[in-house]
Amino acid sequence: MSVGHISTPTMAFCTRHVVRGFSSSALRPAVIKHVMIIGGGQMGAGIAQVAASTGHSVTLVDTSEEILNKSVKGIEGSLKRVVKKKFADKPEAGAEFIHKVLQSLSTSTHAESVIQSSDLVVEAIVENLKVKQEIFGRLDKLAPQHTIFASNTSSLPIADIASSTSRLDRFGGLHFFNPVPMMKLVEVIATPATSQETFDSLLNFSKVLGKTPVSCKDTPGFIVNRLLVPYMLEAVRLYERGHGSKEDIDIAMKLGAGYPMGPFELSDYVGLDTIKFIIDGWCEKDPGNPLFKSSEMLNKLVSEGKLGRKSGEGFYKYK
């Protein structure tokens, strides 16, 4: 399926690209024009929307046309919400904006046929190291030399994902937040092998998207999730101990701490499967850390397919 068309591959580098092992004449960040986003779920669709809205030509890749159709429908819906505010008094300009964004967006179920024209690959598939490594390893063999790879992982070490490729210097983390069109932050993660040029390119790209980047080390959870995920799990444990209803805990954190969503609402919003992957992975690496302890309730909900908003039920029910 194609929503727009893939524009002619743009030569990403105005200057010579500087990578380890290459002679370099300029240390300038790469110009990123064509972006491939892998994974059309809540995060990938959001990243694709924002990238296509800011002058990039974007190809969104997933495993089936059905999923991609759903992703594009979601993007259209989100664009309508954006336009309602941005072009409140100019509905025609709003409609033109949506048309233009959708023209810049194409979809594919075959990453291999898109990689040759990609300056940047942003992966936002399931939070599973092996699956991420497999896809990057495969694309690494086909990608142009200059192409930068980035993962949107919530919790996996970027260096572990990058280890399946031969472009350790052109690999970094770009961690977006849900919902991507609304959340202003991007965590940009460098591994010890990420080149300065790659890091600067990812910082610049985040700014062009209209986001505020912060620089992170490749440590578990980077900044936000290292603080946020133990907090969400502690809320579940509080509830499991019978020390508060989930409704009261949510109200308390919204009205008492000024959070836009309570921890149960937020967990359902993020996806309980994603939270389980995160906490299980950290617990495996550091089993003695009480902050990384899982929860029976969380495990049960995930085993029942109650993954939060995306499946219609999690801690709460959604119509």
Ligand X SMILES: C[C@H](O)CC(=O)SCCNC(=O)CCNC(=O)[C@H](O)C(C)(C)COP(=O)(O)OP(=O)(O)OC[C@H]1O[C@@H](n2cnc3c(N)ncnc32)[C@H](O)[C@@H]1OP(=O)(O)O
Active site residues: 154, 175, 187, 225
- Nearest approach, Cβ of 153 to ligand NAD (angstroms)? 5
Query: By the 8 A CB rule, do 221 and 212 touch?
Result: no
Query: Is 178 labelled as part of a ligand binding site?
Result: yes
Between the two ends of the chain, the Cα-to-Cα distance in Å is: 29
Site for ligand NAD in 163-182 (CB under 6 A): 176-178
* Contact flags string 237-266 toward ligand X, x per CB under 6 A: -----------------------xx----x
Interatomic CA distance for residues 34 and 115, integer angstroms: 10
- Nearest approach, Cβ of 270 to ligand NAD (angstroms)? 4
* Contact flags string 130-159 toward ligand NAD, x per CB under 6 A: -x---x----------------xxx-----
Interatomic CA distance for residues 247 and 265, integer angstroms: 9
* Contact flags string 67-96 toward ligand X, x per CB under 6 A: -----------x--xx--x-----------
Peptide bond into 179 cis (omega under 30): yes
Query: By the 8 A CB rule, do 142 and 12 touch?
Result: no
- Nearest approach, Cβ of 42 to ligand X (angstroms)? 9
User: Does residue 181 touch ligand X according to CB under 6 A?
Assistant: yes
Residue (60 or 168) nearer to ligand NAD, CB? 60
Interatomic CA distance for residues 37 and 277, integer angstroms: 21
Residue (177 or 292) nearer to ligand NAD, CB? 177
The distance between the two most distant Cα atoms of the chain, rounded to a whole number of Å, is 63
Tokens of 109: 């179920």
Residue (81 or 285) nearer to ligand X, CB? 81
Query: By the 8 A CB rule, do 189 and 216 touch?
Result: yes
- SS3 call for 68: helix
DSSP annotation of 308 reads B
Site of tokens 């986003």: 37
> Which residues of the shown chain bind ligand NAD in the complex (CB under 6 A)?
38-44, 61-63, 67, 124-127, 131, 135, 152-154, 176-178, 270-271, 274, 310
> Which residues of the shown chain bind ligand X in the complex (CB under 6 A)?
78, 81-82, 85, 154, 177-179, 181-183, 225, 228, 260-261, 266, 270, 274
